[in-house]
Homo-oligomer: A and B are copies of this chain.
Amino acid sequence: MRKRILIVDDEKNIVDILKFNLKKESFDTLEAYDGRTALEIAEREKPDLILLDVMLPEMDGFTVCRKLRQTMQTPILMLTAREEEVDKVLGLELGADDYITKPFSPRELMARVKANLRRAVDDVVPQQKNEVLRCADLEIDINRYEVKRAGEIIELTLREFELVKFLALQRGQIFSRETLLEKVWGYEYFGDVRTVDVTVRRLREKLERDPSKPVYILTKRGVGYYFNSVK
């Protein structure tokens, strides 16, 4: 089911770019160029999420947001031009779910749209996540940031934990060092790929019975690392 996003902004070219990016990620879009129309369309079309600019003719974004909240709990993501408006946006009486200040990158925008859609789904159908991953005799407790081997707690640092968690969540899947740097270390982080090797080694030192003959975190030479998929 394709999600439908209502874009509300009076600047045509902003709407266009938003539309372009949303379509690229296969969302359907609706448009409104003033507050009054926005309310009408939202009412009639029941979009899955609303992107709402603060500065609007006819009726400003704050008012639109407040009114929308009276009838529907569709996620609302507010677009603000200035930092100072942020407080107001996040104000409880408004009920916006998230905000993003201009200028923003397409990537950030899409990330927030997706995050809010996800959250909306979770609220309706609370996702019961398996908080403890079990792989062989290893237990990885996502919430407690704790790893046990055969019942024994193994102390890991944050980075080590994040790495083993990431690999274990998708075990069998091989990840290149570059991908791990991006996914585990974070998008904005651009370090040396050797860093991954060193962290893997430290992890093995703690996790494995014989670090030189790893059983959990394995190397695919020339490709990357992965969590053992058997059992």
Contacts and interface: CB of A to CB of B under 8 A. Distances in A.
A104 B94 CA distance: 10
Contacts of A173: 128, 143-144
Contacts of A18: 92
Contacts of A97: 105-107
A142 to B, nearest CB: 11
A14 B178 contact: no
B174 A143 contact: yes
Interface residues of A, number: 56
Interface centre among A93, A123, A221, by most chain B C-beta atoms within 10 angstroms, is A93
Interface of A: 13-14, 17-18, 20-21, 24-25, 69, 73, 87-88, 90-93, 95-98, 102-109, 111-112, 114-115, 118, 123, 128, 143-145, 157-158, 172-174, 178-179, 181-182, 187, 190, 192, 220-223, 226, 229
Q: How many copies does the complex hold?
A: 2
A89 B178 CA distance: 25
Nearest to A70: B20
A17 B115 contact: no
